[in-house]
Structure 1
């Protein structure tokens, strides 16, 4: 975890090596000794600009170690938040690298530039958070990007898909490093699921290629659910299935096999889907992932890679089913409890049938506008979806338990029978130098 952080010296202090720390300045910053650091700076205020051999400032050391009191004190003393070390890394990059969320937030509040690039790999703080799997830091940086000058000058969508010196977006790094939570956050914020490391029309690796290489089933599930193309080829002409086979990731290769059933895909271009409230979105995402897990069971059945049974127990769930009134069952599948309501008409459906309705007319990625589906009961356009109103908390709990215990969605629920899977939203490559990365050229590099 300490790549690029070490300073030459004879004494090791956690993430850093300090040689001749005669004033105890960096040691105090490392361990959060506010009293000692204040005493040192009161004797000689100029020491606030002291750096180590690798030009790490006191702020670098404090941010990397999550010493929020030290960071706040230094910023109050007018220390620049974007001070650079020898590798042109900022304190924000080191805080994101080590998952120090409080320091990330404080530095951003102090005006730290989220659009700084290091000199080693041309990566930003967003790349660092994605590579090391700190989804909270990732979300904080993305939230800042929406309201900062970056959104106005670069554009938010461009920042989410920012490329490093070798063509990798944060989504590429998260997929390669087996970081499913970061993959989900990035996709949910507009990361291009089919972005290529090649630029100007040259082929390159997609996040799905890298997830296949890393062997992360969870990352592959997320990418496929957002429309990743199983047939897109990398610079060597390989599809993700071939990459998974080469690296002996058997379960991944089974899901990526072009001859296996297509997964259901989250219809993100539809406005009413992208603007869902958190509760409704969670219900629909759960329904989609459950449907795809049933597909996985079918694909992996009888192989050495069968999906294990859930760790939680459904004991007693059948008793709860009797508590639900027949009038609350979805009138489309007559299987699940209604949990989603269409506004403004007020008609209700289960999450599975709502998802099937939204996925039925798959969006065309070449069009700028998309036709919203219509309510199956009154034929009015669906403009917004919300969680269905319930009378009591116990009733809601019963509904959620009933929805969670769905039957085999590939066989039991009529809402998914014959449902075509959505294709990719387009093979969108990012802009870059046009240089094609080889198989091992960049993907294993670390910040």
Structure 2
């Protein structure tokens, strides 16, 4: 992987060898002398100059060949396109150039019936995967196939890109695909054991990170393949003890990305990343409890709580959450301006259960003013100069007191915000939440 293609037919003419080694001047001379060379291919694999340039990351040569009106979708013996080979070898600049040239992302090879999206996921090139998905959103694919259908496209054995990424231990690709709408519980056809879900395949591969991501997006630990096995049994069979401990149906259920958040039309990307981080931290705390006392204990977190009291900045402009009084406010409800920590925001959505009669979910509401949450964003923090000016004004009511909390950091392993928040309707008497436009904060009693 990543070494590019060799040129078995270079003895016939020097074009393929020049392309492979990036000799742009020689390639230009040969193209000028005989333009028909660009239509020739190696003897056995039928690789064109464009295939060789894409696989070897020769972006200047690839651009020069495309400028000669050569089709970006030329096929080799296995019906692989240059885009597939660029995605296979992780040549992101070539992937982007081919996409800009109009390369067809819906072409299937004859080897496994896979697309360029399968190749990027299988070989773990997250940047290539993201580029292809971004192109799919703005290309005719979105109109003809639909973006969601493309994300879940299957190869000849019924494997989606998510199946391949989970089996090959590619957690970053797993996350990107899940975030793009990949079906977390889809079953394979003939790939792996028939009926395998991405969680079965992650259990087989032994990737804790892939398993974490899949569980956080709602993968079912009890779903069975055609042999009747749940992912837990697959992990045991392949001797992945720590994975089996997490997948054991008797273990505590992981927290799942809450469905009510899907009702929020404009979930700011920074806010989403913050909420996802909080959710994963909560599940890591769960993992520590599950693995405690076993041979698979997790290492101590780098963000230790020891000494946290002494590391709190007195000049921080961010206030403590009025719900849990432990974490800083990092999420703001746009519209009403109320703020809370990421943990309590997740708790708000996780505690919003579907209506059993209509089987539908209602949008989450602000716990302070009960207005519907339409948009979440990250709290804007003042820069240090502004904070210094506020503190320097001895007569200003903005003079900060040192906020001391055992779990002040957003990355703290504590997740009391999710575990202790009960009814949000009972909170009105204790605190109204800090509003972004206000300068004062209701001090904790």
The structure with higher relative contact order (CA 8 Å, sep 6+) is: 1
Does the alignment pair 1:186 with 2:177? yes
| 1:112 is aligned to 2:118 | no
Q: Residue 13 of structure 2 is aligned with which of 7, 18, 23?
A: 23
Q: Does 1:197 align with 2:188?
A: yes
Q: 1:416 aligns with which of 408, 414, 419?
A: 419
Query: Taking structure 1 as the reference length, what is the TM-score of the superposition?
Result: 0.84
Task: Give the aligned partner of residue 220 of structure 1.
Answer: 211
Quote the residue 2:32 is aligned against: 42
Q: 2:284 aligns with which of 293, 317, 321?
A: 293
Match for 1:148 among 134, 139, 142?
Answer: 139
8 A contact 2:195–2:224 mirrored in 1: yes
Measured in 1, the distance between the counterparts of 2:247 and 2:39 equals 53
The reply on whether 1:62 has 2:53 as its aligned counterpart is yes
Aligned partners of 2:365 and 2:275: how far apart in 1?
17
Q: Paired residue for 1:344?
A: 335
Cα distance change of structure 1 residues 165 and 50 upon mapping to structure 2, 3 Å threshold:
same
**Matched residue, 1:373:** 364
Cα shift at 1:403? 3.0
Counterpart residue number, 1:437: none
Structure label with greater radius of gyration:
2
Change (3 A) 1:74 1:322: closer
Query: What displacement does 1:249 show?
Result: 0.3
Where 1:341 maps in the other structure, the secondary structure is strand
Residue 275 of structure 1, CA deviation: 3.6
Q: Deviations over 1:173-199 (max 9, x none)?
A: 000000000000000000000011149
Cα distance in 2 between the residues matched to 1:116 and 1:306: 45
Task: Give the corresponding residue for 1:175.
Answer: 166
C-alpha distance in structure 2 between counterparts of 1:156 and 1:25, whole Å = 39
Residue 113 and residue 407 in structure 1: after superposition, are their counterparts in 2 closer, same or farther (change >3 A)? closer
Counterpart CA distance in 1 for 2:356 and 2:169 is 28
Query: Quick one: structure 1 residues 405 and 266, their matched pair in 2 at CA, closer, same or farther if it must change by over 3 Å?
Result: closer
Q: Do 1:211 and 1:220's aligned partners in 2 also have CA atoms closer than 8 Å?
A: yes
Relative to structure 1, is the Cα distance of residues 379 and 103 closer, same or farther in structure 2, using a 3 angstrom cutoff?
same
Superposition deviation, residue 326 in structure 1:
11
Contact preservation (8 Å) 1:267, 1:358: yes
Q: Note if 1:242 corresponds to 2:241.
A: no
Q: Distance in 1 between matches of 2:356 and 2:122?
A: 29
Q: Distance in 2 between matches of 1:355 and 1:81?
A: 45
Distance in 2 (CA, whole Å) between partners of 1:207 and 1:407 is: 28
Instruction: Write the distance in 2 (CA, Å) between the matches of 1:245 and 1:188.
Output: 29
Q: Which runs of 5+ in 2 are unaligned?
A: 388-401, 423-445
Question: 1:66-145 maps to which residues of 2 (within 5 A)?
Answer: 66-145=57-136
The whole-number CA distance in structure 1 between the counterparts of 2:149 and 2:268 is: 24
**TM-score, scaled to structure 2:** 0.84
The change in CA–CA distance for 1:322 and 1:105 in structure 2 (over 3 A counts) is: closer
1:73-125 deviation line (CA, Å, top 9, x unaligned): 00000111000000000000000000111100110110100000000100000
Q: Secondary structure at the match of 1:111?
A: coil
Quick one: distance in 2 between partners of 1:188 and 1:380?
27
RMSD of aligned residue pairs (Cα, Å): 2.8
- In structure 2, what is the Cα distance between the partners aligned to 1:238 and 1:349? 42
